[in-house]
Chain A
């Protein structure tokens, strides 16, 4: 059967992608060079881990879905996931390659495990994935991607506990996939940030670092925090941190922290934590 080899959780933001393109074309803004440099060990980890598939739990920002039909959980099952045009035009990257056999397997297992999600045969991917992806790998993308989108932009959003359970259900699905595939799980959501209102640009490094520290072996304490409390101290969009629980929930109790890094370039806490799963 397939196995979960490890994974990481990482922040995303539109400016992360924009600054990458600018940095590669000429020079990095010094604040973003810190993030670029800080992600080099993640890039090396991903290359060495050689995953065949990567499950990515992320959130869309009204770039593929609209409120005409906005799913709380949506799984892409398609051979390819094109990049979404967010209004500024497309960036110079190819679409993500999918694997429908693996996708349908995960879809079946998740629904059987009472995660009745929306299955999407067309899913365009926004900065939720594209902003950090080029920092940690380069095209042609090294693994087949299975994207799972979670509503984080309109309340009610799913609870932290629900996302932890989603991670466990993803693990069960992977472990019953009849293949010897190596599978990584990545979750992405911004750490402390707020991008509207008079608190625009607030930055709570104290909280972000506490979160990074505790997610390894004290996730229960984090999951127990009311989401409103996280929004209060970390900004309204810090609720996206709940997505990180899906990654941690997909890994076993026996993990080794391979690496972590944190910086606050402009308006979003940029953190990453990488785990090897030792249970395999």
Chain B
């Protein structure tokens, strides 16, 4: 497992910016629709059909079908939005984190908290 460092760059960190929000607009709209229980049920009945109503590209639909949380985040999906998709399909934050870190969920759970030290420059 890659040790935590002080980097704000991928793959260590994904700082969520305005341009990422623009890129992920359709993903986020779809994902946040899943806050409504009835929408969760509709999605689970036919994932592809539900996602097509949100104008998602075929490639993006495939990322959701593959539960490729890391690719969805790279495509502009906000973590908090991607979490709604994960919750709907019976996963949680740990699954997203483990996917991002490239390790099995159990290994990540075992490793946390992943201790680092250091104070901000100038303090």
Q: Does B122 belong to the interface (CB within 8 Å)? A: yes
* A residues contacting the other copy or chain, number (CB 8 A): 49
- Minimum distance in angstroms from B67 CB to a CB of chain A: 15
A residues near B (Cβ < 8 Å) are: 14-15, 61-63, 66-68, 84-89, 153-156, 194-207, 210, 221-222, 224-226, 228-233, 236, 264-267
Give chain A residues whose Cβ lies under 8 Å from the Cβ of B17.
Answer: 154-155
Residue of B nearest to A204 (CB): B116
In the complex, given contacts A198-B100, A202-B4, A206-B118, what are 11 additional A-B residue pairs having Cβ atoms less than 8 angstroms apart? A67-B29, A195-B97, A198-B11, A199-B4, A201-B4, A202-B116, A221-B123, A233-B6, A236-B8, A236-B14, A236-B15
Q: Is the CB of B10 within 8 A of A197?
A: yes
When chains A and B are docked, how far (Å) is the Cα of A198 from the Cα of B84?
20
Q: Is the CB of B79 within 8 A of A228?
A: no
Could you pull out 9 A-B pairs where Cβ atoms are within 8 angstroms?
A62-B32, A62-B78, A62-B81, A154-B16, A197-B13, A199-B5, A200-B98, A202-B116, A226-B120
Give chain B residues whose Cβ lies under 8 Å from the Cβ of A197.
Answer: 10-14, 100-101
A198 in contact with B112 given A62-B78, A207-B119, A229-B120 (CB within 8 Å): no
Give chain A residues whose Cβ lies under 8 Å from the Cβ of B7.
Answer: 199, 232
Chain B 1-40, CB-CB to A under 8 Å as 1, else 0, gives 0101111101111111110010001001100101111001
Interface core residue of A194, A200, A226 (most chain B CB under 10 Å)? A200
Give chain A residues whose Cβ lies under 8 Å from the Cβ of B101.
Answer: 197-198, 200-201
B residues near A (Cβ < 8 Å) are: 2, 4-8, 10-18, 21, 25, 28-29, 32, 34-37, 40, 73, 78-81, 83-84, 87-88, 93, 96-98, 100-102, 108, 111-123
When chains A and B are docked, how far (Å) is the Cα of A122 from the Cα of B119?
40
Residue of B nearest to A157 (CB): B16
Give chain A residues whose Cβ lies under 8 Å from the Cβ of B111.
Answer: 201
Q: Is the CB of B123 within 8 A of A201?
A: no
| Contacting residue for B28 out of A14, A15, A66, A202, CB 8 A | A66
When chains A and B are docked, how far (Å) is the Cα of A229 from the Cα of B83?
26
Give chain B residues whose Cβ lies under 8 Å from the Cβ of A230.
Answer: 120
When chains A and B are docked, how far (Å) is the Cα of A84 from the Cα of B35?
9
| Contacting residue for B119 out of A196, A203, A210, CB 8 A | A210
Q: Is the CB of B114 within 8 A of A87?
A: no
Residue of A nearest to B102 (CB): A198
Residue of B nearest to A266 (CB): B112
Q: Is the CB of B78 within 8 A of A154?
A: yes
| Contacting residue for B100 out of A86, A200, A231, CB 8 A | A200
Interface core residue of A15, A194, A205, A224 (most chain B CB under 10 Å)? A194
Q: Is the CB of B83 within 8 A of A87?
A: yes
When chains A and B are docked, how far (Å) is the Cα of A194 from the Cα of B116?
12
A225 in contact with B114 given A196-B14, A236-B15 (CB within 8 Å): no
Q: Is the CB of B11 within 8 A of A67?
A: no
